[in-house]
Amino acid sequence: MAGEIAEVSLQHTWDALAHQPESVLIDVRTVPEWQFVGLPNLAPIGKQVITISWAHYPNVPNHSFVDEVVAAGIDPDAPVYLLCRSGARSRSAAAALQQRGFSHCFNVTEGFEGAADGAGHRLGGWKGAGLPWHQS
């Protein structure tokens, strides 16, 4: 039975990815976000981010999300960290994986860009924390 999704910080996520060889990071944002906003860079810890959209741009649900995760060969018992822009889509994606038997799903609460400020700017998240990232 599915339980609550654990909410984890950016630093917790980085440390887990660096020290748990079986752990993975799935970025659930859209292709335009990956291309124009950037992606986490896990090369310094010898890993690659897995990119599987929870929804396709502009806002079309990806009904095959869980099947794509399974097809990527991710072990259902591995720690799976899910990241989106600010933590909402990734929470839903984590819940969907948990319902399909993935036992250790974590939502990265601040996401890649963080919450919007009063002016609508996103200055936090993975990028704002100074964690490695790259942009194409």
pLDDT digits (tens, 9 = 90+) for 26-79: 999 999 999 999 999 999 999 999 999 999 999 899 999 999 999 999 999 999
Q: For residue 60, list its beta bridge partners.
A: 56
Which of 104, 110, 114, 113 minimizes the C-alpha distance to 133?
Answer: 113
Are 110 and 87 in contact by the 8 Å Cβ rule? The answer is yes
Q: Which pLDDT tens digit goes with each residue over 64-123? A: 999 999 999 999 999 999 999 999 999 999 999 999 999 999 999 999 999 999 999 998
- What Rg do the C-alpha atoms of the chain give, in angstroms? 14
- Average per-residue pLDDT for the chain: 95
Global confidence as pTM: 0.95
Quote the tokens at residue 107. 């939502």
| Location of structure tokens 């630093």 | 11
